[in-house]
Structure 1
Amino acid sequence: MFMRWGIVVFLFLGMVINFADKMVAGYAAVPIMEEFNLTYTQWGLLSSSFFWLFMISGIFGSAFSDRIGTRNLLTIMLLAWSVIQSGAFLVTGLYGLIIMRVALGAFEGPYSPTSNNHVSKWFPPERLSFAISIVNAGGAVGSMICAPLLVLGIQELGWRHTFGILGAISLAWVVMWIWLGKDKPVSENAGKTEVKTMPKLKWSETYPVLLSRPFVMICLILFSTYWVLVWTQSFLPTYLVKVIHLTPTEMGYFSSILGASYVVLTILIAWYSDRLFQKHNSLRKARVMVAGIGTVLSGALYCSMTIITHPIYILIAMILAKAMVHAVFILWVSIAVSLLPERKGLILGVGTGCAQFAGIVGPVATGLIVQFAGTNEALGFNYSILFMSSLLVVTGLVFSLFCKPDAYIRKTVHHSEEVSVG
């Protein structure tokens, strides 16, 4: 029991570092744009560059973890983060920044699916969402709760030194992980299903699952919710300063309160979903409907931010919306691994890769939308929020109506039994 939750703590801290690495560039947007004289379109390109290899590495990296083990891949990734973040001291212009962000994205891409895969080895299905929600809470800590510290570091030490400090923290994590991290439980009951050898699958048996309706629906909702994550990472700090007219310090505290609040709600949503699964043993009732309805509601809340712009309302709306959006990143995991339990790393990597495609197109599209409004930055940001909220509402509705994993699993199991009998 202690080791199980110790692994969760390690992966939680890794997620903190992962998201701090992602968000630190957004918090440093204003000084970086001023230092290198960047436009919003160029900043959108720079933000997008982080995801150019992020998606590809997320797919192939997490699938590779099925071969070398999740523990080994996690070690390699965190070590690479340390080296790359330290490269901030060598950057002299836009192209150097792009190279650095592309490299960082390539090695951060597999972290989320690999950590989810690692957690799934230690927890049974009826407790999996809660455990993953704890790990994913590190995203809120790294991206928002730590915001005042990141902003303070940028203001007092400069953005280069702040990047370097994050690199040193990654190195410390690697040292502790090599010493204490374990790949899977040996004797605990929670790991029994993972210890036994799973049959290998041929590609002809794998691709029908990846093209199935439930998994396609998962990819659609992940794309739209990840668009929100990317918008938050790349443009929220600038939106709060330029549109809501907060000072950089106020922006940091705003982000910290937002992160601390929505992560608690996200964990509660995951706990509620686990309770529903224990009661009904239904992925559709416990995972699909909770995620789908929450996505629709979050889209409506983001849309309301274009009408009511008081900072307190913006804070409350974003707390509720982000909690429901981030719950999707937790709930989809148990659906996906149920569809393809023999290759968890592969299906989690493909799903994460589809989500991360939003990271490639989202920042560029948002930058163009904001710049399209000309000097009226508030109008440009409102256009970007309306587009984002529309994605959430549409994909949330489609996901709720058409994602039926339980029926698909029963159908495939029945078909497999018929083939084996025949």
Structure 2
Amino acid sequence: MNINNNYKTNLTEEKPTRVRYLVLALIFINIVINYMDRSNISVAASHMSKDLKLSTVQMGLIFSAFGWVYAALQIPSGYLVDRFKPRAVYACSLFIWSLATLLQSIVGGFGSLLGLRLSIGCFEAPVMPASNKVASSWFPTNERASAIAIYSSAQFVGLAFVSPLLFILEDKFGWKFLFILTGLVGIAWSIVWYALYRDPSKSKRINNAELNYIKEGGGIVEDEDVDNSTTKEKAQFKFSDLKMMFSNRKLIGIYIGQFTISSTFWFFLTWFPTYLVEYRHLSFIKSGFVSSVPYLAAFCGVLVSGFVSDKLIKKGVSMGVARKTPIIIGLLLTTTIIGANFVDSTPLIVMFMAIAFFGNGLATITWIFVSLLAPKNLVGLAGGVFNCTGALSSIVIPIVIGIIVSGGNFTPAIALIGILALIGALSYIFIVGKIEENN
């Protein structure tokens, strides 16, 4: 009798599927396309500004226009992700921002280009809250930092490997072709995402063993049989929820940190190619390959950060030490960007930039704190608030640098990025404090 029972038990034991890794691959591609459509303007900027007769101040406004609505819509986007789910929100936003990218190929001047950049910022707003929601749904707590690191690394992979290709294409076919190609890629992928993605409880690919593994490990999985009216009631917007997001000391600390981390990123995403071509006098094609080195360094940094942080958690290291240490070290490394002001050699300039962006990559796992600190039914809203504070840098940094460098000197702009990184490190050290997971 016992033998038969053991035999039946062995037959019914399931080996967990690994559908979560397919989902992670889908998010990864989403982010590559997302950042390709953010950065293509910086590749096109040098030739586009001459063709459209745009000044450095106007280009600063064009660079920052994306951030105006992107930052403003982060909180509403977080609410949308909680209410309408990532599958539809992601697909719609990806399709429309890709269409706006495509239309940049026919702009005739400052006004039309500004309007399209505003549109792209609007429809890219749900991307990071949706990605964080998907990762929080599909990955248990002890794998989440690695998952976030992998999909966050996509932004640097896109910049490192796609940017040189974009420079070559722009040089060969012109800046208009750049927007046509990147727009069409995004439109096609929006259809693929909608066809393939499902939440864990609705996926036909996942088995019960993997679903239970995710749930028992702290994954935020909504049961398929939960009443829809209950789900909608949970997702109703409340000002008390929003007030809580701005009254918690830990959250305020990570908001400050996110602004400083994003400031470095937006310098590289907007003004870095111009810095290499016009201030350091590198050729256009050479600058495309040189600029890829810091992006590769950042890619390595974010992967090291995520995997090391999760490994420390599995070894029993405290949450605060495992999660905060890579971020603080990364921000301190980012301050070394100031060293580029004191050298003229291209290899040394690239070295300082690479060290700084490696540090920025180390610090990029900050999204882990959203799912750790926020109530589980408000992960989307918390992600929106968190990304809103970071996105403010996409408004401030391009404009401020555009004003600073209008006289042809990038030295103060580089110093500004280093100082902000130091402020971010101090925020995590003195304001964030001990990290504990909310239930």
Same fold by TM-score greater than 0.5: yes
Aligned partner letter, 1:179: A
Q: Partner of 1:306: helix, strand, or coil?
A: helix
Structure 1 residue runs without a partner (length 5+): 414-422
Q: Percent of pairs identical after alignment?
A: 26
**1:400 maps onto 2:416 in alignment:** no
The structural deviation recorded for 1:237 is 0.2
Partner AA of 1:128 in structure 2: R
Q: In the alignment, is the contact (CA less than 8 A) between 2:332 and 2:359 conserved in 1?
A: no
* 1:28 counterpart residue number: 44
Report the Cα distance in structure 2 between the residues aligned to 1:205 and 1:234, rounded to whole angstroms. 34
- Tell me which amino acid in the other structure corresponds to 1:213: R
Task: State how 1:22-421 maps to structure 2 within 5 Å.
Answer: 22-185=38-201, 187=208, 188=210, 189-192=212-215, 193-196=219-222, 200=234, 203-204=239-240, 207-280=243-316, 282-299=318-335, 301-330=336-365, 332-340=366-374, 341-371=376-406, 374=407, 377=408, 380-406=409-435
Q: Write out per-residue CA displacement over residues 123-168 of structure 1, whole angstroms, 9 at most, x where no aligned residue.
A: 1111111111111121012223211211112112211121011111
Residue 74 (structure 1) shift: 0.7
Q: Which amino acid aligns with 1:279?
A: K
Superposed CA deviations along residues 175-205 of structure 1, whole A, max 9, x for unmatched, are 2112211222563234324234689485435
Q: Distance in 2 between matches of 1:16 and 1:74?
A: 14
* Change in 2 beyond 3 A, CA 1:112/1:237: same
Tell me how far apart the structure 2 counterparts of residues 137 and 196 of structure 1 sit (CA, whole Å). Answer: 27
Tell me, yes or no, if the aligned pair for 1:59 and 1:110 is still in contact at 8 Å: no
RMSD over aligned CA atoms reads 2.0
Deviates more, 1:276-285 or 1:32-41: 276-285
Contact 2:294 2:358 (C-alpha < 8 Å) held by counterparts: no
Counterparts of 1:2 and 1:265, CA distance in 2: 25
Match of 2:227 in 1: none
Judge which range, 341-350 or 241-250, deviates more.
241-250
Q: In 2, Cα distance between the equivalents of 1:101 and 1:206?
A: 28
The alpha carbon displacement at 1:63 in A equals: 2.0
CA separation of 1:178/1:144 partners in 2, compared to 1, >3 Å: closer, same or farther?
same
Which residues of structure 2 form unaligned runs of 5+?
A: 1-16, 203-207, 224-230
Letter in 2 for 1:117: K
- Distance across 2 between alignment mates of 1:43 and 1:292: 33
Specify the structure having the higher radius of gyration (Cα): 2
1:96-120 Cα deviation digits (max 9, x unpaired): 1100101011111221221122111
Between the two proteins, the alignment pairs up a number of residues equal to: 402
| Contact 2:100/2:183, CA 8 A, preserved across alignment | yes
- Cα separation, 1, equivalents of 2:129 and 2:362: 15
